[in-house]
Amino acid sequence: MRIYYFGCWEYAGHYLKDHTGKDVSMYDNGLPWEQIDGVLCPDDTRKQGIVKIHHEKGWTAAAFWDYSIDSRPGSNSVLFAEDLLDITDIIGEFKETFPKIYNRFDFELVEWLIPEERK
């Protein structure tokens, strides 16, 4: 399974990386999404750690606002996995594949729910 992380690695700036930390092309990477910077995150909140899950063409994206490195509005992280995963499984992959990134969070990752499901 291919798995990528998009966001701040060790400093401000958004980069797409594989599990080794190697840069991955933003254009030739197999992802089904053309735009990934900020557009996959929840649009009704800027609270960090609220994860919006997307499934497209056999891929899962878990996107959330993340100010752990860059406190400016719009800083975000996205985990991409070439598999159809639920929130529990993709967070498990995140912990295992990118432990340094995951362990820097001082917030919990929780699934974003559409407004009707929040009641």
pLDDT at 74: 87
Question: What mean pLDDT value characterizes the chain?
Answer: 92
Global confidence as pTM: 0.92
pLDDT at 117: 58
Contact 8, 104 (CB under 8 A): no
Q: How far apart are the C-alpha atoms of 46 and 42, rounded to whole Å?
A: 7
Q: Tally the domains of the chain.
A: 1
Residue 100 has pLDDT above 60, yes or no: yes
pLDDT at 27: 85
Q: At a CB cut-off of 8 Å and minimum separation 6, what does 65 contact?
A: 41, 42, 45, 46, 47, 48, 49, 50, 75, 76
- Classified as helix, coil or strand, 114 is coil
Instruction: Tell me the per-residue pLDDT of 18-74, one tens digit each, with 9 for 90 and over.
Output: 999 999 998 889 999 999 999 999 999 999 999 999 999 999 999 999 999 998 988
**Range of the structural domain that residue 84 is part of:** 3-118
pLDDT at 92: 96
Average pLDDT over residues 87-108: 95
Looking up tokens 């992802």 gives 31
